[in-house]
Amino acid sequence: MNFEEKRNRLVDNLIKRGILKTPAVINAMRKIPRELFVPEDARSSAYMDTPLSIGAGQTISAPHMNAMMCEYLELKPGDILLEVGTGSGYHAALCAEIIAPENSEQRGHIFSVERIKSLAETAIKNIQLAGYEDRITVIHGDGTLGYPEKAPYDKILVTAASPSKIPKPLKEQLRDGGILCIPAGSKSFGQNLYVIKKKGNKFETKSITGVRFVPLLGKYGFNS
């Protein structure tokens, strides 16, 4: 079975499990070659529904988690998105395909912050290989500070587990009506995925499911 066949089989399975629902998210999952975003020796496992090591002690999340977070963010063409934790760049590419589809006049954009320089550099290469460099800006830095230069954001995606549900800078940089999707809890066990909607100065918080993410490290994250 080639990569495309494996990718389609994985997507069919995520639809069957009720995780993938929205046509734009399904299309993105069918289109983005996950094998380009994992180290060469892990390519044969690219379409297993599991996290994979990407070096520097970090992981690319399992595809069902990418799918779930994209669905909960209610992404739409034209959205301006902040991602905290670029990792491999795969999740950013999925989001880019949804918020700035080819041939659409609505040009959404992703500002994605990664604290580990080598990963940020590899992610930039991966994103170029997949052809999304015009829709994603990767920034090396501490994403717990957000990226105030381009705020406010329609959506914020955090892909590492935070000690608090809404780190203060992200609270301020989410626009009114915007959605934040974030895993939060303890450093390794006992984390939940939260979807938080900003309504005026209120934040409506919904707990989705138990999850396991690498820790969010930084000024408004865990210390080390």
User: Catalytic site residues?
Assistant: 61
Residue the block writes with tokens 């399975």: 13
Instruction: Identify whether the C-beta of residue 99 lies closer than 8 Å to the C-beta of residue 75.
Output: yes
Packing angle, helices 63-72 and 90-99, rounded to 10: 40
The answer to whether the peptide bond before residue 183 is cis (omega within 30 degrees of 0) is: no
CA separation for the pair 26, 97 (Å, rounded)? 11
Judged by CB under 6 A, the residue of 144, 170, 178, 184 near ligand SAM is 144
Among 81, 116, 130, 180, binds ligand SAM (CB under 6 A): 116
Q: Which amino acid is at 2?
A: N
The secondary structure of the chain in percent helix, strand, coil, rounded to multiples of 5, reads 35, 30, 35
- Binding of ligand SAM by 218 (CB under 6 A): yes
Stretch that binds ligand SAM, among 12-20, 80-88, 171-179, 180-188 (CB under 6 A): 80-88
Stretch that binds ligand SAM, among 25-33, 79-87, 100-108, 174-182 (CB under 6 A): 79-87
Could you say which residues in the range 2-61 bind ligand SAM, by CB under 6 A? Answer: 58-61
Binding site for ligand SAM (CB under 6 A): 58-61, 84-85, 87-88, 90-91, 113-116, 119, 142-144, 159-160, 213-214, 216-218, 221
